Chain A
């Protein structure tokens, strides 16, 4: 059976990273399974962990009064769920709901933050990698905003008929 460290080493976030550093980080992790409909994060809850997605699909959502949740994007195997743990006030900004059964590594945020404070080289390396993830998400969100597939002749409006 694979250890947490092996799963962490194989995740794309840590590809090519020094094995000692990865194992150090893996010490903050534990394997977790989640059923369909379970939430990994809830908006405004304390961001006390983040997740390496090993299997399954997660929807990042927000809520609105008396309406169904609004899914903003989905994340799949090899993605990272959550970065609110990185920056004060350490509160999740969105819900993260399991669309399919999930297998994840749950990483304890305080444990990781403490290790990064103790070892700035590790902290900088991790920050660079998470910045790349955040940049990619930002670029994807911008492309989504362009509404590329809308019919230009209707400005994206769908007739009610």
Chain B
């Protein structure tokens, strides 16, 4: 798991001006380890660097992994520039994912901001594929502009299965959806709080306000899960770059139950 395995890019799909989704398969043709949505791989662009990227595809596809990444620096720019047939290194899967088994029978509220929709996509696909396994589902997704929303085709498909509320920070008068912050929608929407689990992923400031909005609606700390982001390097809890309070985000997270991290979640400089 600590030596990168060589993968080949099978498909490259641009999502927005700075975000692409890569579907990759092992170049040796050997079976892949399974993963839980919310876990991540370390993707290695030869000569450019290695970055942690969450799984954004379905675990049920045994021969491939799918990752959505945004161009942020040298390594992600190199990965985003890969074309079908190009190779990359992969270590993983790493970390702790979303509590998929715990979602069964519950009302699932998914709150995503920006690129935070990517690690939640496999959860949403599971909710849409087997709605009978859940008491209900809602998606609240906030983005910068309508053109920067991810997976627009899937958003439309999910909206046929469950409530999907979209919000953008900026738009022109042609946008018929909501303009404002996602917490505003959370505050005014009908939100079940009984037998409910909330899954939250987005920029940390957005998650802080989202947690407060969910608490105000009566959701227990133990019913809120967050995917945290820190400076992950080794992905196995050795290097210490991603230490956060008593945890290593790469090993103990990136998904945490809010009840477990509440003591330092709002603490500065941790």
Q: Which residues of A contact B (CB under 8 A)?
A: 12, 57, 59, 61, 68-74, 76-79, 97, 99-100, 136, 140, 143-144, 146-154, 156, 158-159, 161
B111 to chain A, nearest CB (A): 13
Are A151 and B175 touching (Cβ within 8 A)? Answer: no
B142 — which chain A residues lie within 8 A by C-beta? 149
C-alpha gap A74/B179 in the complex (Å): 5
B130 contacts chain A at the CB level, 8 A cutoff? no
* A148 in complex: contacting residue of B17, B175, B184, B205, CB < 8 Å: B205
A residues near B114, Cβ cutoff 8 Å: 148-149
Q: Name the one of B175, B202, B206 contacting A71, with C-beta atoms under 8 angstroms.
A: B175
Give chain A residues whose Cβ lies under 8 Å from the Cβ of B206: 143, 148
Given the contacts A76-B188, A149-B203, A153-B73, A61 and B169 also touching, CB distance less than 8 Å: no
Bound CA–CA A149/B114 (angstroms): 5
- A143-B181 in contact (CB<8A): yes
Size class of the B contact interface (CB-based, 8 Å): 35 or more
CB < 8 Å A-B pair total? 84
Beyond known contacts A57-B178, A61-B173, A148-B113: 17 more, CB 8 A cutoff: A68-B173, A71-B175, A72-B179, A73-B179, A74-B177, A76-B178, A76-B185, A79-B188, A140-B183, A143-B209, A144-B180, A147-B144, A147-B169, A148-B114, A149-B113, A149-B169, A152-B72
Q: Which of A76, A97, A149, A161 contacts B148 (CB 8 A)?
A: A149
Q: Does A140 contact B188, Cβ atoms closer than 8 Å? A: no
B128 close to A (CB within 8 Å):
no
Name the one of B71, B113, B172 contacting A68, with C-beta atoms under 8 angstroms: B172
Q: What's the Cα separation between A12 and B172 when bound, in Å? A: 29
Q: Does B70 contact A (CB under 8 A)?
A: yes
Asked if B205 and A99 sit within 8 Å, CB to CB, the answer is no
Can you name 5 A-B residue pairings with CB atoms under 8 Å?
Answer: A59-B179, A71-B175, A147-B144, A148-B205, A149-B113
With the chains together, A62 CA to B143 CA distance in Å? 21
Q: Which B residue's beta carbon lies closest to that of A69?
A: B173
Bound-state Cα–Cα, A11 to B99, Å: 37
Interface of A is mostly: loop
- Min CB distance B85 to A, Å, is 23
8 Å CB interface, B178-199 against A: 178-181, 183-185, 187-188
Asked if B171 lies at the interface with its beta carbon under 8 angstroms from chain A, I say: yes
Using CB atoms, name the residue of chain B closest to A153: B72
A150 / chain B contacts, CB cutoff of 8 Å: 144
- B176 close to chain A: CB less than 8 A: yes
CA distance A131 to B12 in the complex (A): 50
- CB pair A159–B17 under 8 Å, yes or no, is yes
Give every chain A residue within 8 A of B181 (Cβ-Cβ).
Answer: 140, 143-144
Shortest Cβ distance from residue A71 to the other chain B in the assembled complex, whole angstroms: 5
Q: Which residues of A contact B170 (CB under 8 A)?
A: 144
Residue of A nearest to B148 (CB): A149
A contact residues around B171 at 8 Å (CB): 71
- The one of A136, A152, A153, A158 in contact with B17, judged by C-beta atoms closer than 8 angstroms, is A158
Q: Which residue of B lies closest to A144 (CB)?
A: B169
Is B260 in the interface zone, CB < 8 Å from A? no
Which one of B113, B171, B185 has the highest number of Cβ atoms from chain A below 10 Å of its Cβ? B171
Q: A136 to B187, Cβ gap below 8 A?
A: yes
How far apart are the CA atoms of A148 and B176 in the complex, in Å? 21
CB-defined contacts of A76 to chain B, threshold 8 Å = 178, 185, 188
Return the contact of A146 from the options B185, B202, B205 (Cβ within 8 A).
B205
A76-B188, A140-B181 in contact; A99/B176 too (CB < 8 A)? yes
A77 nearest in chain B by CB position: B188
8 smallest beta-carbon distances between A and B, as pairs: A149-B114, A149-B144, A73-B180, A148-B203, A153-B72, A74-B179, A143-B181, A140-B181
